[in-house]
Structure 1
Amino acid sequence: IKALYVDEINKCISMEMYKTAVKTPETISIDFIESGAKHASHYIDKLHTNRPSSVIGWDNKIWSIEECVIEIILCIYEASQIDPKSGKSLIGQLSFDKDDALAMKFVYAASNLRCAVFGIPLNSFHDTKGIAGNIIPAISTTNAIIAGIQVFQAVKILKDSSSPLKDVYCSRCPTRKGVYLLPSNPDKPNEKGCCVCSTAILQLKVDTNSFILNDFINKVLKSKLGFIRPSVTIGSSV
């Protein structure tokens, strides 16, 4: 939990990844993490029987940061136990299902901690379950639409059709004619000036005493060359 909600956030802040954000994210307090871990440990050792999801009306209550930490630890502990049917732990075998209590409690607690980091209002378990239930069908529907469009274009290639390939954009809202899919002719490849299509080489001289790798990525690759998520290879590592 500390690695995800403290160390990783501090790392991103140090790399100025949130410098354009309206509000800079804040890490989860170490005190909450340590207190939650201690409470979860006591529950596992059966020193007490209280946990956030055992209180009456817990699914309509917004958990505190400490309660979210407790529940994440307990969910991981439960998933790590040996399943009587398979003889293995559930870690690595579970798939998300909003009706799976264990999976949903973990997602709820983890998402609320993420919300706390970025200053987003927290939700109750019931509200989060409704949101999660809507996300999956929406993603599936969108993927199906895009996959179908890709198949249409692939058939043209396989048939060596004279019909030109199209760039097709899927709009969220219909046009005045009630159309959602907007085909257009793709731009011709810029083989000479494109760093992807060609073998272009750019020589850059910098003062390595003051110009760091993060400056190279943001100021050169992203700002000047237009890369969105560039990969930088240094020796044998990326």
Structure 2
Amino acid sequence: VAKEAATKFNPHVKIVAHHANIKDDEFTVSWFKQFGIVFNALDNLDARRHVNKMCLAADVPLIESGTTGFNGQVQVIKKGATACYDCTPKETPKSFPVCTIRNLLSEVFGVSEDESAFDHSNDAENGEFSTCQFFVLDPALLYADHKCLTASEIAELKKESAALKKIRDAVGTEDFPQMLFDKVFQSDVERLRSVEDLWKSRRRPEPLSYKTVFAQATEAVAAKDQILRDDQRAWSLEENLVVFRDSLDRLSKRMMELQKMQDPAKPEPVITFDKDDIDTLDFVASSANIRSIIFGIDRKSRFDVKEMAGNIIPAIATTNAIVAGLCVLEAFKVLKEDYGQAREVFLTPFAAGRLLAPDTLRLPNPDCPVCGVFNVSITADLSRATLHDVVEDIVKKHLGFGDREFVLSNAVGIMYDVDETQNLPKKLSDLGVKAGSFLTIVDEDDEEPFLNVVINIEESTIDEQDKPVQSSLKERPEIPRKPRKSGPSNGEANGGQQQNGSSSTRLDTEGQGVKRAYPGDDAPPTKKAKLTTGGDEDVVVVQENGGAIIIDDD
């Protein structure tokens, strides 16, 4: 869909779309190396960290971006020149993006926010969002532009719309719970299972039948009142079905009462989700848990779901569009390798004075475990390469570790150190190493240790007469030493001023309005920004060298 939308703007652009998980094995460092620049617009911390790591290993510039409601940011990342995504520790997010892909669930909250019986509405007057409009009438309305759809896709949408309308018309009847259950948890899941490409590297979802589950729920039906009082325990499948049925009965009665009192001249009534509304909470919790069981995800208690559901972040198209435009502006500078003029830009629409807050790029954090390392790639014939080959031919000889003591590890744990040598004769494949794996070398020298070295494994078939592991570098690399630690003095820490526990070192550049002064900064002051007025209220700030025009509207 994204490809089709983009080609409408420029039909001559060649776009190759991939429907997959960016962490799949096929997307190796070599795959990333084919690009001149990477744009990142992912919505979760783990995937963003992964792309950051891969771009650094491939030495490909990355335009990292993200939005949270009305706020957004753009960051340029270049190995050795700027801070990376992990240079500043990130807190585990306590809120959840509403744009998480519904079909590839990996955690329970991706379930509870995407039931097909819900829609999202925006209260534009106060900027707040009420989620979960009860029952979408026509799913075709969820597509921004269905003119790009084929005749078969439109026919499928109409079929889907008719099925949902039939379910909606059954609200308040005895058949309603079964119709909704079998639509969402059986027929939709069976259709999803038929998309073969989605399940090459992940478990297929298992559809559920209402009659089958209900036949096993005799004890749960009898214990309904006790189940509804227990919000600290994750309910079983049968217990979730009981709560699902009961919450639908309560919501159906509320909906019919609203319809009776409804003024015909006003829009049709809806029931909006509220985490403090026990009826909607029970429906969301039971639906999420049933779908979790289908996808093999851990179930959550009603208490947990209530805590999670209070942190929904809506996706706002306008914010996404603004941030996408900022990404393109920064990409122009990256393509010219003009990192001195690149900016880290924050979109803060409710801040005083301006909508955009550009800042100079931060320098790399020397202690960053992701970009503060030395990267090297080796080619290995995994059918015969052993850990001994890597230790002796690559680490000791080619990388120059010689007799130094070091630890070699992978994602699983330590593979080799001076006291752990039993793995040396084992094949790399027997130790869990495969194409795209990373090995980390930590120098244990106390005086002048090398930087940590990260080895990227690229698989290839190598002639029997040649060594089974080979480096991509023709000469021995000069691995930098780890920077010496020095205590802070006069309120300063190594690398620049410290604010709130994180480094605030910035690249020396011009064109950023008023420049911060830093110790040892001998560069001439920046040029003052020109201020011009376009009327009584608008102020236009022109940055002569920054490549951006900022319009302030008070």
User: TM-score, length-normalised on structure 1?
Assistant: 0.50
Q: CA deviation at 1:85?
A: 6.9
CA contact (8 A) 1:59 1:126 kept: yes
Residues 10-25 of structure 1 correspond to what in structure 2 (within 5 A)? 10-16=190-196, 18-25=198-205
Residues 152-163 of structure 1 correspond to what in structure 2 (within 5 A)? none
Separation of aligned partners in 1, 2:249 and 2:203: 34
Q: What per-residue deviation string (whole Å, max 9, x for no partner) do you get for residues 137-175 of structure 1? A: x22xx539707949xxxxxxxxxxxxxxx81349xxxxx
CA contact (8 A) 1:32 1:66 kept: yes
Partner residue of 2:225?
51
Q: Which amino acid aligns with 2:212?
A: D
Partner residue of 1:6?
186
Structure 1: 4+ residue segments shifted above 6 A? none
Separation of aligned partners in 2, 1:32 and 1:5: 11
Separation of aligned partners in 2, 1:122 and 1:19: 22
Separation of aligned partners in 1, 2:308 and 2:257: 31
Q: Judging changes above 3 Å, is the alpha-carbon distance between structure 1 residues 89 and 110 closer, same or farther for their aligned structure 2 residues?
A: farther
Q: Judging changes above 3 Å, is the alpha-carbon distance between structure 1 residues 83 and 167 closer, same or farther for their aligned structure 2 residues?
A: closer
Q: CA deviation at 1:84?
A: 9.6
CA contact (8 A) 2:231 2:302 kept: yes
Q: Judging changes above 3 Å, is the alpha-carbon distance between structure 1 residues 169 and 53 closer, same or farther for their aligned structure 2 residues?
A: farther
Q: Judging changes above 3 Å, is the alpha-carbon distance between structure 1 residues 115 and 92 closer, same or farther for their aligned structure 2 residues?
A: farther
Partner residue of 1:143?
316
Q: Which amino acid aligns with 2:225?
A: R
Separation of aligned partners in 1, 2:318 and 2:226: 40
Separation of aligned partners in 1, 2:261 and 2:226: 23
Residues 132-211 of structure 1 correspond to what in structure 2 (within 5 A)? 132-135=309-312, 138-139=313-314, 143=316, 146=319, 149=322, 167-169=325-327, 179-180=345-346
State the secondary structure of the residue aligned to 1:109: helix
> Please, which runs of 5 or more residues in structure 2 have no aligned partner?
1-180, 263-267, 329-341, 348-355, 359-554
Greater RCO, CA 8 A, separation 6+: 2
CA contact (8 A) 1:82 1:89 kept: no
Q: Judging changes above 3 Å, is the alpha-carbon distance between structure 1 residues 83 and 145 closer, same or farther for their aligned structure 2 residues?
A: closer
Q: Judging changes above 3 Å, is the alpha-carbon distance between structure 1 residues 21 and 128 closer, same or farther for their aligned structure 2 residues?
A: farther
Separation of aligned partners in 1, 2:274 and 2:307: 12
Q: Which has the higher strand share?
A: 2
> Please, which runs of 5 or more residues in structure 1 have no aligned partner?
151-165, 171-175, 184-238
Q: Judging changes above 3 Å, is the alpha-carbon distance between structure 1 residues 84 and 13 closer, same or farther for their aligned structure 2 residues?
A: closer
Report which stretch shifted further, 118-127 or 27-36: 27-36
Let me know the Cα RMSD of the aligned residues: 3.9
